[in-house]
Amino acid sequence: MRALAFGLAIAMLPLAAGADTIFLKSGGELSGRIVSRTAATVEIDVGGGQIGVATSTILRIEEGRSTLHEYQDRAGRIAPGDVEGWVALAAWASSIGLGAQATEAYHRALHAAPNDPRANAGVGNVQVGGRWVTEDEGYRAQGYVRFEGEWISPAEHEAILRERALEVQQERVHQAEAKAHEAQVRAEEAEARLAEAEAQKADAQAASEGLPLWYGWGAGPVSWSNDSIARQPMVQQHPLVTPR
């Protein structure tokens, strides 16, 4: 795996030479490394995935040194066992919105020092019973259940299932003009539980959709995760650089 990662890192080196910002006619911006250009499309790696941009939507492209490029330079100068270096790099990456790189750097720190509290917190780990566990395991340990991408209390979970079962039942009653029975509600509950299993498959996609409300600030994205960027496999799955 390391050899594969090293190969990928080497393969990406020529791409690191181009650091660009694409200014869209719509007013948005994309900053990273352009990895390919055709007459119709420009493909840019923003560090959390690659985005294909139709040239017809591009106002202009400015070549320059992107923060992603700087991250790679800095990462290349940090030794594998330099915990302080990786933690500092992660904090810097996070502060400029490079979430994927921050996570990567924290993982590097964790690799060197598995119990480092900053690195653990940086990747979302929490302490349960004196040991570090993932954020999800932490919520589970607190009694929350995952439902459609959200961690909620068992009581709320049950309430949602009941509501949905009732809605389905009421709809059927309405259509068939028949009376509803408690037994049927229970059957619908079981049905809803089965449906939950399917809903959980969509968890990864829905994981960041729980807070679309930006009350107190203004509008913002509905989805907020690297997954919403990556149309192709995430670059962060492989080291962007090979540390010395």
Selected from 32, 34, 188, 241, the binder of other proteins by CB under 8 A is 32
- Beta carbon nearer to other proteins, 29 or 79: 29
How far apart are the C-alpha atoms of 83 and 43, rounded to whole Å? 34
Selected from 13, 159, 178, 202, the binder of other proteins by CB under 8 A is 159
List strand residue ranges (DSSP E) for 38-157, in order: 41-45, 50-54, 58-63, 126-128, 131-133, 145-147, 150-152
Q: Does 27 bind other proteins (CB under 8 A)?
A: yes
Pairs from 168-177 (Cβ < 8 Å, separation ≥ 24): 168/192
Q: Please check whether residue 35 is in contact with residue 1, taking contact to mean a CB–CB distance below 8 angstroms.
A: no
Number of residues that bind other proteins (CB under 8 A): 69
How far apart are the C-alpha atoms of 75 and 19, rounded to whole Å? 16
Between the alpha carbon of residue 223 and those of residues 83, 96, 149, 198, the distances in Å are: 32, 19, 12, 20
Q: Does 215 bind other proteins (CB under 8 A)?
A: yes
Selected from 9, 16, 34, 48, the binder of other proteins by CB under 8 A is 48
Q: Does 30 bind other proteins (CB under 8 A)?
A: yes
Selected from 5, 8, 15, 224, the binder of other proteins by CB under 8 A is 224
- Beta carbon nearer to other proteins, 25 or 77: 25
Cβ contacts of 190 within 8 Å, gap of 6 or more: none
How far apart are the C-alpha atoms of 124 and 194, rounded to whole Å? 30
User: Closest separation between CB of residue 3 and other proteins, Å?
Assistant: 27
User: Closest separation between CB of residue 14 and other proteins, Å?
Assistant: 19
Residues that bind other proteins (CB under 8 A): 24-32, 44, 46-48, 51, 53-54, 57, 66-68, 94-100, 102-103, 106, 121-124, 135, 139, 142, 144, 148, 150-153, 156, 159-160, 163-164, 167, 208, 210-226, 228-229
